[in-house]
Amino acid sequence: MSSNATTEEHVLVIPATLIESIGKLEGFDRNVDRFLQPILASDELSYRPRGAMELDPSFKQLIPYVVMQWTDPADGAVKWFQYTRGGGSGEKRLHAKRSIGVGGHISQEDAGGDEDPYTIGMRRELEEEVTIGAPYVDQREGLLYDPSNEVGRVHLGVVHRFILEQPLVTSNEPELAEGQFVSVKQLREEREHLETWSQLTLDALFPESI
């Protein structure tokens, strides 16, 4: 066995058949608990090598996808944290796309703690990628599944909206470049530059221009 095989990250995955047994899921679905509760309670969850899972749509990798929102008290404008994906060790198929979502895979190393692996993994990914310097409220908003492209076919996103008291977020990694809060209006005007998950999330949470 090669050293790469022994050190490769193993990520939390769900059989596609499990999702299909619950119901049809495509695009942005607000009925989070209908899917997520039986998924997290299932004995069919497993940790598998990430490299193989990126190419196998019969499994879906579970991904917390956190959007961070702040309302400017000066004019009441709703703003979201946005960044440009760099070319580091992350998902290279999304390189140079703009994103409003922060998060990543649930790793095998996240299992075995006092909390569930999903919560531990979400917190770890956030701490690796950004520093949030203000209190916030966490609202779970929906699920994302986009089979229209090769990245989307192997991932299932869980969208969390963090409502921050102040716009205090800084990037911790070069893969998250040009991080800043921008208005929902601006995001909608530049929608075509966003990755697909960000487009779906923006359309679902703000269906009209603000």
Local confidence pLDDT in tens for the 210 residues of the chain: 344 445 889 999 999 999 999 999 999 999 999 999 999 999 999 999 999 999 999 999 999 999 999 999 999 999 999 999 874 445 454 456 899 999 999 999 998 777 889 999 999 999 999 999 999 999 999 999 999 888 899 999 999 999 999 999 999 988 888 899 999 999 999 999 999 999 999 999 988 644
- The residue type of 156 is L
Position 176 scores a pLDDT of 86
Q: Where are the beta strands (DSSP E) in 72-204?
A: 78-85, 98-99, 130-132, 136-145, 155-164, 169-171, 176-183
Cα–Cα distance measured from residue 188 to residue 202, given in angstroms and rounded to the nearest whole number: 8
**Sequential DSSP letters for 23-41:** ----EEES-HHHHHHHHHH
- The residue type of 19 is I
Position 47 scores a pLDDT of 96
Position 155 scores a pLDDT of 96
